[in-house]
Amino acid sequence: MVGYSPGRSWAFPFAGDPMTIKIVGQDEAFALMKEMKPKQPETAP
């Protein structure tokens, strides 16, 4: 599982690393995958 917090990226290293990497088990991964939503396409200006 990987997460990125752009709000913390400007304050690194004081607020902590903006990237979070965590190894999860299969059961937790399946539960998280069920909560995922497709990314909406970006609109061109």
7 touches 19 (CB < 8 A): no
Q: How many CA atoms lie within 13 A of 29 on its CB side?
A: 7
Cβ atoms of 24 and 32 closer than 8 Å: yes
Single pTM value for the model: 0.44
Report the alpha-carbon distance of residue 4 to residue 17 in Å, rounded: 9
R_g (Cα) of the chain, nearest Å = 15
Q: What is the pLDDT of residues 1-45, one digit of tens each?
A: 777 776 666 666 666 676 778 898 999 888 888 888 887 887 766
CA atoms lying within 13 Å on the CB side of residue 24: 14
